[in-house]
Amino acid sequence: MICGKCNKNHATVHVTEVINGVKKEAHLCEECARGAGVGIKFSFSISDILGNLVDAKPPGKPTEKAAQLKCPECGMTYSEFKSKARLGCANDYEVFRAGLIPLLEKIHQATQHVGKTPHTADGQIKKENELVRLKRELDSLVKSENFEKAAEIRDRIRTLEIDLSAGPGAQRV
Amino acid sequence: MKIDDLLQQSGEWLRGSGPESDVVMSSRVRLARNLHRFPFLTVAPPSERSAIEAFVRERFEQVLAPRKIHYLTLTRMSNVDRTLLVERHLISREHAQGEGDRGVAVSTDESTSIMVNEEDHLRLQVLRSGLNLEEAWESIDRLDTTLEQHLNYAFHPRFGYLTCCPTNVGTGLRISIMVHLPAAVFAKQMDKVLQTLQRLNYTVRGLYGEGTSPVGDFYQVSNQVTLGKTERDIIGEMRKVIPEVLKFERSWRHKLVEDEPRKLEDKVWRAYGILKNARTISSEETIEHLSSLRLGVNLSIVQGIPISTVNELFIFTQPSHLQKIERKVLETEERDVVRADFIRKRLPSV
């Protein structure tokens, strides 16, 4: 099919418009379609998709509250976060936490870090992360019926839990 | 270290000496890190970017100089020089084309680089020849631990290392294994590999990362998930997946050798013939034939050409390398002539 506008190139963009019940069809080449401003997408960036994954408002918050949500440190608003799916500063992870958690769940199927921690992080954080990691290991060991190793891990979890409940900041996470 | 020094050497990871290097070209690990108390680059105004760069540079001088890692500022660097760093796999295309104060610290053996003010304040990278994730991880982990004692990283007990984009948060760890799959491509079996890997949450991209189509049968396999797993878990899972890809490619290589030896030999020798005799050759054609030659060398169809020579030709025949070697700006047609001359000189007669 030849482009209906320049009558020269091969038509690869097919547009159907319905205005007041009247259906109009156009067959254009890429160049003419771009010239006519037809909404075609030639590039695809990850931030486009990510933005769509962010909820319009954080769960459990009324829309008007979400609109007011703004980071006092970097000035980023919830709607900017939603459109870019990028964060402006470390504090945004707290400010947009409620909206961020479902997004992280979609991307990583997880919301809790269990990897490396900086030396500067206190021992408490390290223990808490270790606890999450061990609990996950326990689950998979039970699933694979490796009960001997599971019992060993369960003991380590108990020790850690006692340790954590005795220490300061035990309520965290 | 100066940019021109790079022309007198080649990266250690190109030697082709690592494990499984008949299929795996390189293993790359990357860590995304941001500094505590500085805004992320999404919102940082130019003055803040400069402050971040200056702060990091000062700390780097104390920490990295003894490790033979040297800082290069990109802000006033020529376009050709910046692209040279991309061709060398030391910085990303985005970093080369970016704006504002930014730079990269590069180790003299080119195995380590740290981009400053790319998408995140810091992007650490370690490259190794072949499938060598453990060594790459140990090296980057040590570097990261050292840096962390001099720079305060943005870290959150729940979310881990904080990054500008939520796709990198947590460990900030992205592993990319560059695999050469000419037989799978030749047998039109790549769909199977791509589909399976994507189902397992791995990204597969062309040679030069985001937004590019695969060139010369090279693919980059990387992990998508960075949060909720330990670094060792992420590496361990990759260590289980890649051997399957290797097995697949090798089976198809074997099948080609068994079923269609003439066709395969013809493909390899034609590639050698063109590379050894052409008087003008485009970058795409070069990569295509180098890919066939690489397969031929690995299957011992061609003997007497070191694999490192083939690997280096992939890098040195790119536009910025040729222009730096010739010390002048070259138009496309001129480059094609220079490229053909360069290949003829470098490629041994067999």
Q: Which two tokens stand for residue B169?
A: 């948060």
CB contact under 8 A, B155 and A118: yes
CB contact under 8 A, B158 and A118: no
Lowest-confidence segment of A66-70, A87-91, A110-114, B171-175 by average pLDDT: A66-70
CB contact under 8 A, B153 and A118: yes
pLDDT at A111: 94
Smallest Cβ distance to B167: which of A107, A114, A119? A107
B31 has pLDDT over 90: yes
pLDDT at B106: 95
Report how far apart, in Å, the C-alpha atoms of B303 and of each of B106, B166, B257, B348 are. Answer: 34, 48, 16, 10
The model's confidence at residue B237, banded by pLDDT at 50, 70 and 90, is very high
Q: How far is A136 from chain B (nearest CA, A)?
A: 10
DSSP per-residue letters across B59-84: HHHHHHGGGTEEEEE-TT--HHHHHH
Of B78, B82, B74, the C-alpha closest to B49 is B74
A38 has pLDDT over 80: no
CA atoms within 13 A on the CB side of B328: 7
Q: Is A81 on the interface with B (CB under 8 A)?
A: no
Q: Please, which residues bridge with residue B203 across strands? A: B222
CB contact under 8 A, A114 and B169: no
Most A-contacting residue of B158, B173, B203, B222 (CB-CB within 10 A), to test interface: B158
> What's the pLDDT tens digit per position in B59-106?
998 889 888 899 999 999 999 999 999 999 999 999 999 999 999 999
Distance CA B119, CA B92 (A): 10
Q: Which residue has better confidence, B175 or B14? A: B175
Q: In chain B, which residue's Cα lies nearest the Cα of A101?
A: B159
Of A167, A88, A98, the C-alpha closest to A128 is A167
Distance CA B137, CA B139 (A): 5
Distance CA A143, CA A75 (A): 46
B259 has pLDDT over 50: yes
Q: Is A170 on the interface with B (CB under 8 A)?
A: no
CB contact under 8 A, B227 and A133: no
> What's the pLDDT tens digit per position in B163-204?
999 999 999 999 999 999 999 988 888 888 888 898 888 988
A63 has pLDDT over 90: no
Q: Which residue has better confidence, A22 or B228? A: B228
Q: Say which residue the tokens 């795996």 belong to.
A: B24
Q: Say which residue the tokens 């008007």 belong to.
A: A64
Of B235, B201, B207, B234, the C-alpha closest to B220 is B207
The answer to whether residues B105 and B60 touch, using CB atoms and an 8 Å cutoff, is yes
Lowest-confidence segment of A46-55, A130-139, B336-345 by average pLDDT: A46-55
Distance CA B33, CA B103 (A): 15
For chain A, positions 86-125, list CB contacts with chain B under 8 A: 86-90, 93-94, 100, 103-104, 107-121, 125
Distance CA B97, CA B83 (A): 9
CA angle B261, B266, B270 (to 5 degrees): 155
Over residues B253-279, the mean pLDDT reads: 97
CB contact under 8 A, A116 and B34: no
Lowest-confidence segment of A41-55, A68-82, B125-139, B234-248 by average pLDDT: A41-55
Residue A169, number of CB atoms within 10 A of its CB: 12
CB contact under 8 A, A87 and B40: yes
pLDDT at B348: 96
CB contact under 8 A, A119 and B149: yes
Predicted ipTM of the assembly: 0.88
CB contact under 8 A, A100 and B141: no
> What's the pLDDT tens digit per position in A39-56?
444 444 555 677 777 877
pLDDT at A42: 43
Over residues B126-154, the mean pLDDT reads: 95
Environment class of B240 (CB within 10 Å of its CB; exposed 0-12, middle 13-18, buried 19+)? exposed
The answer to whether residues A33 and A15 touch, using CB atoms and an 8 Å cutoff, is yes
Contacts of B54 (CB under 8 A, 6+ apart): B101
A26: helix, strand or coil: strand
The model's confidence at residue A34, banded by pLDDT at 50, 70 and 90, is low
Report how far apart, in Å, the C-alpha atoms of B326 and of each of A87, B6, B72, B335 are. Answer: 44, 14, 22, 10
The model's confidence at residue B10, banded by pLDDT at 50, 70 and 90, is confident
Smallest Cβ distance to A116: which of B158, B225, B231? B231
Model confidence, pTM:
0.83
Q: Which residue has better confidence, A138 or B274? A: B274
The model's confidence at residue A37, banded by pLDDT at 50, 70 and 90, is low
> What's the pLDDT tens digit per position in B47-63?
999 999 999 999 998 88
Q: How far is A6 from chain B (nearest CA, A)?
A: 30
Helices (H), B200-348: 231-259, 261-277, 283-298, 307-316, 319-326, 332-346
A75 has pLDDT over 80: yes
> What's the pLDDT tens digit per position in A159-170?
888 877 765 443
Contacts of A46 in chain B (CB under 8 A): 165, 167
